[in-house]
Structure 1
């Protein structure tokens, strides 16, 4: 029923993806998507390869989160690179997977991410959150922008565009792969599972509560320019029509996170998604030590103490969040890079 890539079989993939001839340094640029959606501005970052080592600084860090080493606005290393677009989780932001962006640049990728309006750290407008169909469209807009931006268009191999999403970003990934919202099926699921997290979120945000919104959610939000997906412990599997999942025809690398630290129910999320997808398109990993928040950054040595004082309800995001998480990141990045070749 599933393709499961066991941890003991990863050495070849990790070795193959770890060697990049130019040994690039990570460069960082601000991203502002300029298009006709003035009602939904998109901002974030682009990470890309450079040979410049003169002005390396720490970016995206704070007292809780370790940053990455990058050169701001450096000249790009000439070449053609695959593009990966990242989608953060609920109330996350474009920096959440900067660790992955940094690792992918080292392996010869360009990476872009934006803050999704309505569902990001600093933009929690309820009306924008309601328009959940705009999340996958945000990713398509980023691709449009990157392929037309004079700074990056000539650097991108447009036959090698990929996407990765965490949590609600995993929902975004599945929609872009061809998953279609199933209003009746999701309503029936929530009637029988009223305490399920995704049901409460969609109800609180008033997602698909009007005929117009329901039609927008049920539209085809896929983007056939994207040639492969990485889905990190997604939430929202039960929102998708099973027949649409069965019709997805792009490679899907799916991680489930079984370590129960405020995590999601794998039986109704990642495992259910894998069961619904075509067998020949799925690689599924469920490392026993992986938790939902291991897809965020590595925590500083003072992070748990700071969170205990300032945000005590959030301390769990940094449990096992230093050396163990860094090791998980190395494994995840190597597998994603190998999958996106």
Structure 2
């Protein structure tokens, strides 16, 4: 019987350093970053895509993901791509303050440093200046953004000769985890999604925003919501604190054919039901599940600047954006998640078949 539950211990910080040393043999000295576009029939426009990659010296120093709340991550804009062939990780970001590719730079940059090309499209309306509750709740559009990005990356002259054929994975964080599970073969239940914000019990913060934006999910056109979004080019999926998970069709995951690793953040018994994905992991034939008890859903955001928590409270942000669990700092939690991701994608995308 497969082992589904692995609860991370506080001593992981020590293990993390050992694992990072193990993978440093394949590490690049530099991380490059480029902005490209991907044509999207679904959106009717081009998607902005951020790509991180192993690089040689050169380019212009930039810091991605930094704002008044969060510390950013350094990379080299337009640096030359290092010689070699690399697996590809398609990264799906969350919504709100985590609703841009740059907000995920804390995990994308170290993955690129460890020998992966990481490509993240903007999911329109999910964050930034164009944030929209109506667009954010169109969960079924997000997987097509990832597939369109893959279509483009495969044809990009800069990258096409640097991929290991068929070595493609997806990493999704928060709502990006929902996207990743849809790409694996999960399907949305339109009725569940339509009733998601009938009250605030499932997701108080998100549903408050939906209601304040005068969005009625029951009136939203969901004729495509339950469609099949599986992309058979993808070999492995990792979803970290995926949400919402309570809008899926109950029987779809038993048919998923690829390995899927799911990580929940928080103490077992305290993880919000809208993110609790143990049942999904158990339903997937090759699924695995673990938790990080010293973390919270907000641990997926960037490392907070010293006054960020107080600033967010004074500005009525409404979420404790700098609140983690007990026992580890956000930086330590990020190090743990990065190490888990490196280990998982190394095993699934770099190991001989």
Report TM bin, short chain: 0.7 to 0.9
Match of 2:128 in 1: 121
> SS at the partner of 1:28?
strand
Match of 1:196 in 2: 202
TM-score when normalising by structure 2: 0.82
Residue 295 (structure 1) aligned with residue 300 (structure 2)? yes
Structure 1 residues without counterparts, runs of 5 or longer: none
- 1:17/1:338 contact within 8 Å kept: no
> SS at the partner of 1:19?
helix
Report the Cα distance in structure 1 between the residues aligned to 2:156 and 2:190, rounded to whole angstroms: 37
- 2:187/2:248 contact within 8 Å kept: yes
> SS at the partner of 2:19?
helix
Match of 2:245 in 1: 237
Match of 2:320 in 1: 316
Structure 2 residues without counterparts, runs of 5 or longer: 347-353
Q: Which moved more, 1:235-244 or 1:179-188?
A: 179-188
Q: CA deviation at 1:57?
A: 4.0
- 1:63/1:302 contact within 8 Å kept: no
Report the Cα distance in structure 2 between the residues aligned to 1:132 and 1:187, rounded to whole angstroms: 11
> SS at the partner of 2:144?
helix
Report the Cα distance in structure 1 between the residues aligned to 2:144 and 2:6, rounded to whole angstroms: 31
Q: Which runs of structure 2 are paired with 1:80-99 in the superposition (5 Å)? A: 80-91=85-96, 92-99=99-106
The structure where helix makes up a greater share of residues is 1
User: Would you say how many aligned residue pairs link Structure 1 and Structure 2?
Assistant: 333
322, 325, 330: which one aligns with 1:325:
330
- 1:274/1:284 contact within 8 Å kept: yes
Match of 1:142 in 2: 149
> SS at the partner of 2:288?
strand
Q: 1:106 to 1:202 in 2, by over 3 A?
A: same
Q: CA deviation at 1:17?
A: 5.6
> SS at the partner of 1:333?
helix
Report the Cα distance in structure 1 between the residues aligned to 2:300 and 2:92, rounded to whole angstroms: 12
Aligned Cα root-mean-square deviation (Å): 3.2
- 2:92/2:172 contact within 8 Å kept: yes
Residue 282 (structure 1) aligned with residue 287 (structure 2)? yes
Residue 338 (structure 1) aligned with residue 336 (structure 2)? no
Q: Which runs of structure 2 are paired with 1:197-216 in the superposition (5 Å)? A: 197=203, 200=207, 205-207=215-217, 209=219, 213-216=221-224
Residue 28 (structure 1) aligned with residue 33 (structure 2)? yes
Q: 1:166 to 1:59 in 2, by over 3 A?
A: closer
- 1:2/1:275 contact within 8 Å kept: no
Deviation readout 1:280-334 (Å, 9 max, x if unpaired)? x22212111111011111112232243344x23356111359x711111111111
Q: CA deviation at 1:273?
A: 2.4
